[in-house]
Amino acid sequence: MSVYSDFPSFQAVHKRCVATIGKYDGLHSGHQHVLATLCRTAKARGLPAVVILSEPHPEEFFSGGKAAPRLTQFQDKVDYLLAYGVDAVYMMTFDKALCELGAKDFIVQYLVEGLRVSALIVGDDFRFGKNRNGDFQMLKEKGSEHGFEVIREIPFKQEGHRVSSTLVRSFLEQGECEKVRSLLGRYYSIGGMVEEGKKLGRELGTPTANIALSVNSLPLHGIFSVLVEYKGQTLPGVASVGFNPTVENSETPKLEVHIFDFNEDIYGEHLVVSFINKIRDEFTFTDLNALKIQMNIDIEQARKTLQSL
């Protein structure tokens, strides 16, 4: 799947398209429902299925770093979209110019002239343009004027609840990994490269892989039983997500993983860590010996949990 960020490159490959637009943070079952409609409609018209994303998210642009934690980083989002059958992603840079662009101008510049949309799939609560003045009704009217169809997607519900990124984030904050799994159709995961750390885990008898993170906040914290994807293998382990209060009290979150019965040099390798269940919250220990004792208890609990899967 190709990722585009300018119209000439997109138009050189795609003459028209069927598109949807949104943050698609988490790629939960509600998103998957929209993507199924997108791909089905695109196939029927013989056109590519395109997802329009923005980087950063609008909330991140306006909040100055205080937006809610992301569920999915951009590259992980692209990988999921590929798995769900999307043909291309168009990435808009959300900056002052896009923020100031009126809704009608957005329709003409992006949907009509830029991406040459044949059909657009959105929810009826979709808002866009300067001051969020654009809505579903405006899209319908302008679609009729410019020759593209607008398809309404109703909110997707599961067990009586509207599925949303906010709901997923709430369950993650509570450590409800199984509830999150039901909303995503998979365990929640974080991917990243292994970077060199302080090697304290090795000194304590539990070497850890430190996963490089490109964010300042995460939607979950604590100690978890995990499964780690590494070069086609699925390996059991235990992970710490948080600020290492006993050792360094970091200002930014860290993800450290101890893989059971594993002794390979994996610096620079890419791992995907899936969170199976929460063992406990992160807390401060009186000394490193107390931390070591608790780590061994966590490992045994994680082993038992993962053996039962």
Q: pLDDT value at position 124?
A: 77
In this model, does residue 118 exceed pLDDT 70? yes
What is the residue-wise DSSP string for the chain?
Answer: -EEE-SHHHHHHH-SSEEEEES---S--HHHHHHHHHHHHHHHHHT--EEEEEEES-HHHHHHTS-SPPPSS-HHHHHHHHHHTT--EEEEEE-SHHHHT--HHHHIIIIIIIIS-EEEEEEETT--BSGGG-B-HHHHHHHHHHHT-EEEEEPPPEETTEE--HHHHHHHHHTT-HHHHHHHHTS--EEEEEEE----HHHHTT---EEEP---S--S--EEEEEEEEETTEEEEEEEEEE--TTTT--SS-EEEEEETT-----TT-EEEEEEEEEEE-----SSHHHHHHHHHHHHHHHHHHHHT-
Tokens 């598109």 -> residue = 19
User: Is pLDDT above 60 for 223?
Assistant: yes
CB 239 within 8 A of CB 257: yes
Residue 217's pLDDT band, with cuts at 50, 70 and 90, is confident
pLDDT digits (tens, 9 = 90+) for 123-145: 878 999 998 999 999 999 999 99
pLDDT tens string 12-24: 999 999 999 999 9
CB 86 within 8 A of CB 35: yes
d(CA 181, CA 83): 17
Q: Tens digits of per-residue pLDDT, 6-54?
A: 999 999 999 999 999 999 999 999 999 999 999 999 999 999 999 999 9
The whole-chain average pLDDT of the chain stands at 91
Q: pTM for the whole thing?
A: 0.89
pLDDT at residue 284 in the model = 79
pLDDT at 267: 92
pLDDT of 80: 94
Query: What pLDDT was estimated at residue 288?
Result: 81
**Domain 2-162 is in which class?**
alpha beta
Percentage above 90 pLDDT, the chain:
72
Q: What is the pLDDT of residues 57-71, one digit of tens each?
A: 988 888 877 788 999
How does pLDDT run across 244-266, given as a tens digit for each residue?
Answer: 655 565 667 889 999 999 988 89
Architecture of domain 187-307: Beta Barrel (2.40)
- Average pLDDT estimate for 210-215: 84
pLDDT of residue 199: 61
Question: In the chain, where are the structural domains located?
Answer: 2-162, 187-307
Q: What is the pLDDT of residue 282?
A: 87
Provide the token pair at 129.
Answer: 């343009």
Query: What residues form DSSP beta bridges with 54?
Result: 92
Q: Which residues contact 297 (CB under 8 A, 6 or more apart)?
A: none
Mean pLDDT of 151-166: 89
